[in-house]
């Protein structure tokens, strides 16, 4: 077991983990942050997507010690107090989910995309979420939600 100090959603958290433990396991089992889901556990589905220093990555494929000293943001960290963040609002507005299992990973992927590219084209949105699978096929609504989230983050109300 090794001690780690992780910065998750703006808070410093101390944990004692096995060096081989994934970031996903630490987030879910040690810190109680269950928004990132375990889908495939091999980096293929994206349901475990979190941001590390603002960049989307699969938490199931990241060893917890790799996250020490880095800023980790989960879907829970996108809330503004009790209010949804702009990407979460846009997903609700555009019904960009069905079963909901992939939704947190999709939202975090879009958040990462918008941090890197505040006004992405439809093709850039498709590429930005291409590592996140939706078994229900809600992609058209996910793409619309990502465009709407860009408008909301830019402060433009726009038409939905």
pTM of the shown model: 0.93
Rounded to the nearest integer, the mean pLDDT of the chain is 94
Backbone angles phi, psi at 111, to 5 degrees: -55, -45
Q: What are 148's two structure tokens?
A: 């709407």
What confidence tens digit (pLDDT) does each residue in 28-40 have? 999 999 999 999 9
Q: Residue 22 carries which DSSP code?
A: B
What confidence tens digit (pLDDT) does each residue in 45-77 have? 999 999 999 999 999 999 999 999 999 999 999
Q: What are 25's two structure tokens?
A: 């396991």
What confidence tens digit (pLDDT) does each residue in 82-118 have? 899 999 999 999 999 999 999 999 999 999 999 999 9
Domain definitions of the chain by residue range:
2-75, 86-153
- One of 3.40.50.150, 3.40.718.10, 3.10.20.30, 3.40.50.2300 is the CATH number of 2-75, namely 3.10.20.30
Fold of 86-153: DNA polymerase; domain 1 (1.10.150)
Distance between the two ends of the chain, CA-based, in angstroms?
Answer: 50
CA 13 to chain CA centroid, Å, is 19
Q: Is the pLDDT assigned to residue 158 strictly greater than 70?
A: no
């Amino acid at each position: 077991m090794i001690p780690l100090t992780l910065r998750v959603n703006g808070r410093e958290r101390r944990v004692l983990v096995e060096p081989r433990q994934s970031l996903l396991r630490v987030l879910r089992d040690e810190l109680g942050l269950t928004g990132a889901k375990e889908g495939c556990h091999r980096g293929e589905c994206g349901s475990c997507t979190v941001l590390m220093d603002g960049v989307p990555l699969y938490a199931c494929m990241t060893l917890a010690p790799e996250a020490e000293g880095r800023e980790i943001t989960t879907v829970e960290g996108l809330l503004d107090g009790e209010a949804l963040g702009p990407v979460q609002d846009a997903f609700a507005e555009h019904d960009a989910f069905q079963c909901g299992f992939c939704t947190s990973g999709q939202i975090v992927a879009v958040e990462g995309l918008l941090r890197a590219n505040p006004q992405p084209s439809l093709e850039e949105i498709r590429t930005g979420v291409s590592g996140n699978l939706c078994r229900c096929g809600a992609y058209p609504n996910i793409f619309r939600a990502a465009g709407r989230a860009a408008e909301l983050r830019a402060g433009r109300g726009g038409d939905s």
